[in-house]
Amino acid sequence: MAKIANEKTPQVKSRKTKLGKKSVEELIDIILRKDKIEKNLNSQVASLKGEVNSLTSRVNNFDKDMAGTLTELANLRDTNKTNRESIDSLKVRLKDKQSDYEKLNKYYVELENKCSIYKNICWVEGIIIAAIAFCLICF
């Protein structure tokens, strides 16, 4: 059954009876104690609100720092990607240069061998010319 709004619960009636038996001094003490408890609770609530505000601002600062860090990370990833592309390009160029170097080295080795042969031929021709000149002078 639904209770009527004016009807009192058994707990309220019991409390009213207990308080009715108390003296004025005891009632004043109860009221002062309750006021002290309420005051302490209000100060604790105010303190907790301050802590919540402080923590909220710290969270906001962390969020801002995190956003900045994420931006820096994205920039570093872009830089890293650019550097990798540059490295890949340089590797291709290096392979081309190595190929060119090997071709030139082969050419210079062949040229050095030919020069060595021509040097020997010139030396032999010089000896022959000197011998012919010697023969012409002596005879």
The CA distance from 91 to 81, in Å, is: 15
Q: Encoding tokens for residue 60? A: 């906001």
User: What percentage of residues in the chain have a pLDDT greater than 90?
Assistant: 69
Res 18: pLDDT: 82
pLDDT digits (tens, 9 = 90+) for 71-93: 999 999 999 999 999 999 999 99
Q: Encoding tokens for residue 138? A: 């002596």
Provide the 3-class DSSP secondary structure of residue 33: helix
Amino acid occupying residue 99 = S
Q: Encoding tokens for residue 105? A: 């080295």
Range 81-107 burial, b when 16+ CB lie within 10 A, else e: eeeeeeeeeeeeeeeeeeeeeeeeeee
Provide the 3-class DSSP secondary structure of residue 4: coil
What does the pLDDT average to over 88-111?
93
The CA distance from 105 to 111, in Å, is: 10
State the pLDDT confidence band at 1, using cuts at 50, 70 and 90: very low
User: Cα 120 to chain center, whole Å?
Assistant: 68
Instruction: Output the average pLDDT for the chain.
Output: 89
Q: Encoding tokens for residue 76? A: 């570093």
The CA distance from 69 to 75, in Å, is: 10
What does the pLDDT average to over 93-113?
93
The CA distance from 94 to 99, in Å, is: 8
What does the pLDDT average to over 11-22?
83
- Domain range summary for the chain, segments of one domain joined by +: 21-138
pLDDT digits (tens, 9 = 90+) for 21-56: 888 888 888 888 999 999 999 999 999 999 999 999
Res 6: pLDDT: 63
pTM (2 d.p.): 0.45
